[in-house]
Structure formats: C-alpha cells, structure tokens
Amino acid sequence: MKQVLILGATSSIARAIASEFAREGVNLFLGGRDLAELEHMAADLDIRHGIQAHYGSVDAEDFAAHKDFLENATRTLGEIDGVVFAIGYLGEQPRESADPAAALKIMNINLSAAISLLAPIANILEEQGHGFIMGLSSVAGDRARPSNYVYGTAKGGLTLYLDGLRNRLDRQGVKVITLKLGFVDTEMTYGKRGLFLVASPEQVAKSACQTLQKPSGVYYIPRFWRMIMLVIRLIPDSVFKRLNL
C-alpha cells in the first residue's frame, strides 16, 4: 500500500487518518473543498513524514466535476492502492424535517457523493485486482432516531452501498471496510447535546487503520458501540418511539 486517496481530507478524522498513513510512508492525494487548507495540510505531511502529499479541490455536491477530479487524482498518483471516503455532513434535524431541500443536501453529501466518487474507483480497483475502499459511516444508520433520522437514513444507505461493493469486489481481491463510528469529538458534533462516550479523532484513526489488517467487513469504532447498537435495535418500536433519543 503506497498510494491512497482521501476524500473529505480536511475533516478532523480524515486529518488523523492521513497522519497515520503518512507515518507508514504512504503517499497521499487529499481531496476537499478548501484548497488553502489542503495545501497547508499537504506541506505539513511532506515535512513531517517525508512523503508525497498531493491535493485537489472536490465538492461533494458538484457531481459534474467528480470525473475530472478523479482523473487528476489517479493521474497524479499513478496507481491508487486505496481510498478513504470521509465526506460527511450532519445538518440540523428540525430544519431537515421541514425543508425537503435541506434533507436532500444531507442525502447528497453523505450518500449520493459516495456513489458518484466511489463507483469509478471501484472499477479501477476491480480491474487492477487489489486495493481497498474504506467508508466512514455511522451508528446513526443502524436505527432511525427522531433527533437525526435524515442523517441516519443517509448513513444507513451508505452502509448498504458499501455492503454491495464488498460483496461484488471481495472475490476480485479488493477489500471494502465499513466503519460505523460512534460519537467523535469533531467540529460536526461540537456543542451537540446528549453525546456520551465520545472518542477522539486520533483514537478513531488508529482503530480505522488497524482494520486494514483484518478481513473485509463492518467494524464499529469504538468497538463497544456494536453492543450498544445491538441493544438499541432490539428495543420494540412501541417503546422506542417514546424514548427521547
């Protein structure tokens, strides 16, 4: 593994993952919206770890531009050994519930953009017969809660999409890893109420990279969220809809 593309690279979790890869000598292509921040991030990784860190602009909602971005990334790297999809947008549930456009924004950024960007990469990896796709999903997709069901719907869809890619690509030698994240201390969750057992981006990044040594599959980070979500999924609907979640 020498060349990795990171989508949504300026998020806190993606930054930490990029640092983990860079420490292992992996060359990177960083994709995100803020070119100035990407340039700073790439230069820092170059200096700290002696790798080649490239970058390019990609907007999750600008689907027409995704093809050119991916062509630039693959041309620059030469060969892609893996991709990390770390693009995400939480939004605000009250607004999403009342405004279809706001809800569609959540769906487009978290799910439609994943399909638009990962489908061409999946074809490349399938043809070369090796590599990995790592997608950052969420425990929110395991069961729809009143407080964030639009976001949960998008992440649930992302999980299913990655399931499909895994079932298609595993026999071709391509690993597909789905990371279901619990609460993480990031800009996206800052100030949100009701958070508990919050992990740091660095903890998540270390666990995420460790999953690449494991078989293709779905991994909860931190691991205890698997049991938490099992309990939540087993709560009867008649009880669950009365809970303040």
**Other CB atoms closer than 10 Å to residue 195's CB: what's the count?**
13
Residues 159, 141: contact at Cβ < 8 Å? yes
Residues 35, 57: contact at Cβ < 8 Å? yes
What's phi and psi for 174, nearest 5 deg? -105, 125
**Other CB atoms closer than 10 Å to residue 130's CB: what's the count?**
14
Work out whether the CA dihedral 179, 182, 186, 187 comes out positive or negative. positive
Q: Which amino acid is at 83?
A: V
The set of catalytic residues is: 151
What the block records as the tokens of 196 is 């508990």
Q: Can you spell out the DSSP letters for 69-92?
A: HHHHHHHHHSS--EEEE-------
Report which DSSP code applies to 160: H
Q: How many angstroms separate the CA atoms of 174 and 127, rounded?
A: 10
**22, 34, 27, 73: which is closest to 205 by C-alpha?**
22
Q: How many angstroms separate the CA atoms of 223 and 50, rounded?
A: 32
Q: How many angstroms separate the CA atoms of 142 and 138, rounded?
A: 8
